[in-house]
Amino acid sequence: MGVYRQAIPACACIALALLAVNAAAIDPGTVKGRLTYEGKAYVLRHVYAWQPPLQAGELWIYLTDNPLPPLAAQHDSRPEELAREKRFGGAKLIIRPLKPRLEDMKGVIYAHREDGYSVDKFNFGPGWQSLIVGERRVAGKIRSQWMNWTLEAEFSAPVSGSTGAVRTIIGAEARNSPQARVFVAFEQALGEKGLDAAGVYLTPEKLAEMRATIKRVGAATFQEFQERRRASTPQGEARRKQVERVDIDGDYARLRAGTGLDNLHTALFVKTMDGWKIAEW
């Protein structure tokens, strides 16, 4: 856990948030602040913090006027799409979850412009007045100004996504893991019976994405893909033997299978009420 504060009296009160981190870890987030962009003000009422699983490089903090659906916030580009549709305004702040620094200041401003553009990315500093990261929670106070926007906010929020600790299994343990069983069953069902049969092993979002892809490229093209894959990729137990490792981060996992550097395949999994499902393949 780290507490980072600039030596200014106005921020001293933020240290009190550290005392409440454990007790408030499951409490909803709170935010008070304002984004002003080209003279238009956005009152920030919602906060969502997401650390993409299976990595320790970035933690995303969204401060918005209207609610941002978690599934959208967890996606690289979906927030930008919603901002362009004028569904919300606000900011995405990107920090290091490990050893964060007050001088690190980057993110995205989502705001409406008359010409239709609504996204400004930035990478500069400083802007943070205080920042606390630890025990699955992040709290901070920020005041930053650049060109045509000003951001002032104070927030505290639970962190969703990564647990911050990745467990790696290899060898027989990886080959006999729940993720490997789903991976092998999915590929075999896809190759032998098609997407309708294989869809049970996918998240609803991934199934919808693959169906949209088939509709776009055509059933004949997808069938050619299946045939090429059947010819180049072992099935069943032969495929299971190619599973090299599984990285597990709470309810998320990444499986790697292949026969060399030029033939590696990675699949991402999410644990649901119905067990592990493939989210990316």
Phi-psi region of 239 (alpha: psi -120 to 50; beta: other; left: phi over 0): alpha
Query: Where are the domains positioned within the chain?
Result: 2-161, 167-280
DSSP 8-state class, residue 77: S
**pLDDT, tens digit, for every residue of 86-144?**
899 999 999 999 888 898 889 999 998 777 777 899 998 778 999 999 889 999 999 99
**pLDDT, tens digit, for every residue of 188-210?**
999 888 899 999 999 999 999 99
Identify the pLDDT of residue 119. Answer: 86
**Cβ count within 10 A of residue 204:** 10
What's the CATH architecture for 167-280? Roll (3.10)
| Higher per-residue confidence, 270 vs 221 | 270
Residues in the chain: 281
d(CA 16, CA 130): 12
Identify the pLDDT of residue 260. Answer: 64
d(CA 151, CA 78): 22
| Higher per-residue confidence, 145 vs 200 | 200
The letter for the amino acid at 250 is G
DSSP letters, 19-73, are HTTTTTTTSPPEEEEEEEETTEEEEE-EEEEEE-TT-SS-EEEEEESS---HHHH
